[in-house]
Amino acid sequence: MAEAILSRLVQQGIYQGSEVLVSEPEPKRREFLEQTYGVQVTSDNPNTLTATEALLLAIKPQVFDTVVNQLEIKSQPSYPLIISILAGVPLSRLQAAFPVYPVVRVMPNTPATVGAGMSAISSGQTVEPHHLSLATSIFTAVGEVVTVPESLMDGVTGLSGSGPAFVAIMIEALADGGVAAGLPRTIAAKLALQTVLGTAQLMQTTNIHPAQLKDQVTSPGGTTIAGVAQLEQRRFRSAIIEAVKAAYLRSQELGHKL
């Protein structure tokens, strides 16, 4: 995820590579990032506190305390915005670790790697409008952005964080259905993928409600209503709802464990 954000920021000219410092423990990864994006690299985490605008935390939640201890946080003339994409680490914990820094918590998702992500931002108590604007500009580089109160972050995780996996399963199932109907696997897979992509683009462009689009495709006594009836009988809609709820509840559990 960190590389996806980095690549888009550099490609879109929001930051020059020379303006970015990446702390990476693996020598081969440091070399790759330096050569690919022209960024500065280091293996020394405290060096990242030289950031003037933003410090992005893209580490495993389990090593959060270790990394914070390495940073040796101390008073300085100005404080960069701390941006955390750590799942399950609340703003209260971030603020306790960075008591004099403005902090935001962000939940992006995997389509960010192709610039089609969805990111939700929650702001800490000391965040000013220009801090939020900076965070928004960074994550707009990888897709769409919404701001939400932190109380909704677990819901965001269940929907847009876990959602790509649910959509992938649906695409796979559509393709399998095509194969069951006699289509070659390669053609079925292409049809399924483009159908989902095209439907999403149509709904985004026209701002049509999902139910309205479904009604437009469903003619009386036709093929689509026969399929929709099966989806309802098999509780497809309920299964998706319960999947999001389960992911939401698991996000809450993980947050309490960390």
Binding site as annotated, residues: 45, 58-61
Binding site as annotated, residues for NADP(+): 58-61
Answer whether 248's CB lies under 8 Å from 158's CB: yes
Please give the structure tokens belonging to residue 136: 């928004």
d(CA 258, CA 256): 6
CA 148 to chain centre: 14
What strands, in cross-sheet order, belong to the sheet with 103-107? 54-57, 81-84, 103-107, 117-123, 143-147
CA distances from 78 to 42, 49, 74, 122, 150 (A): 22, 10, 11, 22, 26
Each as own residue / partner, the long-range contacts of residues 80-84 (CB below 8 Å, 24 or more positions apart, any chain) are 80/49, 80/51, 80/52, 80/53, 80/54, 80/55, 81/53, 81/54, 81/55, 81/127, 81/131, 81/134, 81/135, 82/54, 82/55, 82/57, 83/54, 83/55, 83/56, 83/57, 83/135, 83/138, 84/57
Binding site as annotated, residues for NADPH: 45
Please give the structure tokens belonging to residue 116: 């089609």
What's the first-to-final CA gap in the chain, in angstroms?
21
